[in-house]
């Protein structure tokens, strides 16, 4: 469903992505991990169309979308949850829902058990994240990009969010690419793990059992030179 081929991209003169190639199949849930500054969020911005690569191609559903504007990617089925679940401060919950509702989608409303007259500016961090994810899923995306869904959210709420997302997409062809710092939520959610380091793909298929092995993860993130250090 998604393929990145030799993507180079950055901000001004600073190159962040240095030849990134990866793919995500229909129905697959892939985690993109790595230390801070590895380029994970930049990968999502390239896929969503917020950042144009200097070289390389982005293919979505067998179509080259490298130069396609962001709004057309959204219309063609790419959903993007940015960090911290941005919502409109002045709009109510109900107004947010009306903006993106496709058909009669009452299942989403059941998850977001918040008074519909509340405005975005007064929501808690967990409520904002729930709303932002609901808005993504109401568009029924074929590809869902998630940038740290657990950021700023209580652990119990983050667990509920991950279970709810998986429940909504299980049995569908929806593909998911998730960037996450909290590895606790991933073993029961993802089917495959990709590790980035210094703007490049370092490991393309890290075994899921390594997510709970601190030494293995430390080596994957930071390399052999520091792998002998002990994690706190």
Four-residue CA torsion sign, 151, 156, 161, 167:
positive
d(CA 166, CA 144): 11
Which residues share a beta bridge with 156? none
| pLDDT score recorded for residue 135 | 84
| pLDDT score recorded for residue 8 | 98
Q: Which residues contact 18 (CB under 8 A, 6 or more apart)?
A: 8, 198, 199, 200
- What average pLDDT does the chain have? 84
Look-up: residue for tokens 């709303």? 131
- Report whether pLDDT(219) > 60: yes
What percent of the chain is predicted at pLDDT more than 90? 42
- Report whether pLDDT(217) > 80: no
- Asked if residues 87 and 96 have their Cβ atoms less than 8 Å apart, the reply is yes
Q: Which domains does the chain have, with CATH numbers?
A: 2-220 (3.40.50.300)
Q: Tell the burial category of 194 from Cβ atoms under 10 Å away from its Cβ (0-12, 13-18, 19+).
A: buried
Among 13-22, 131-140, 207-216, the range scoring the smallest mean pLDDT is 207-216
- Asked if residues 175 and 144 have their Cβ atoms less than 8 Å apart, the reply is yes
d(CA 153, CA 34): 20
d(CA 10, CA 104): 40
- Report whether pLDDT(201) > 60: yes
DSSP code string of 172-192: S--EEEEE-S-GGGSTTT-SE
Strands 55-60 and 2-11: what pairing? antiparallel
Among 47-51, 85-89, 160-164, 228-232, the range scoring the smallest mean pLDDT is 228-232
- Residue 1 has a CB neighbour count (10 Å cut-off) of 19
The average pLDDT across 176-182 equals: 90
The average pLDDT across 183-202 equals: 88
The average pLDDT across 187-201 equals: 90
pTM here is 0.86
Q: Which two tokens stand for residue 3?
A: 């393929």
- Report whether pLDDT(231) > 70: no
| pLDDT score recorded for residue 45 | 97
Q: Which of the residue ranges 103-112, 158-167, 171-180 has the most confident prediction, judged by mean pLDDT?
A: 171-180
* Among candidate residues 51, 133, 137, 42, the one with its CA nearest the CA of residue 85: 133
pLDDT tens by residue, 63-102: 999 999 999 999 999 999 988 667 888 888 888 888 776 5
Q: Which residues contact 124 (CB under 8 A, 6 or more apart)?
A: none
| pLDDT score recorded for residue 55 | 97
The average pLDDT across 4-21 equals: 96
- Residue 54 has a CB neighbour count (10 Å cut-off) of 11
Of residues 178 and 112, the one with the higher pLDDT is 178
* Among candidate residues 42, 44, 35, the one with its CA nearest the CA of residue 2: 44
- Report whether pLDDT(123) > 60: yes
- Report whether pLDDT(128) > 50: yes
- Report whether pLDDT(105) > 70: no
d(CA 42, CA 2): 16
């Amino acid at each position: 469903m998604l393929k990145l081929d030799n993507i180079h991209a950055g901000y001004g003169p600073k190159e962040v992505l240095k030849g990134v190639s990866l793919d995500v199949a229909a129905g697959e849930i892939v985690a993109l991990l790595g230390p801070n500054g590895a380029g994970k969020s930049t990968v999502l911005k390239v896929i969503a169309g917020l950042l144009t690569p200097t070289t390389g191609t982005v293919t979505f559903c067998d179509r080259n979308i490298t130069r396609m504007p962001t709004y057309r990617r959204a219309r063609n089925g790419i959903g993007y949850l940015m960090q911290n679940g941005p919502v409109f401060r002045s709009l109510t919950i109900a107004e947010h829902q009306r903006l993106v509702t496709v058909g009669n989608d009452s299942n989403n409303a059941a998850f977001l058990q918040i008074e519909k007259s509340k405005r975005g500016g007064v929501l808690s961090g967990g409520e904002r994240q729930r709303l932002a994810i609901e808005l993504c899923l109401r568009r029924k995306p074929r590809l869902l990009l998630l940038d740290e869904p657990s950021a700023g959210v209580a652990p119990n709420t983050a667990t509920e969010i991950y279970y709810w997302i998986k429940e909504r997409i299980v049995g569908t062809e929806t593909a998911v690419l998730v960037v996450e710092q909290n590895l606790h939520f991933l073993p029961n959610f993802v089917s495959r793990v990709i590790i980035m380091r210094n703007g490049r793909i370092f490991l393309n298929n890290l075994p899921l059992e390594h997510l709970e092995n601190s030494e293995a993860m430390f080596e994957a993130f930071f390399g052999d030179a520091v792998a002998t250090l002990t994690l706190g």
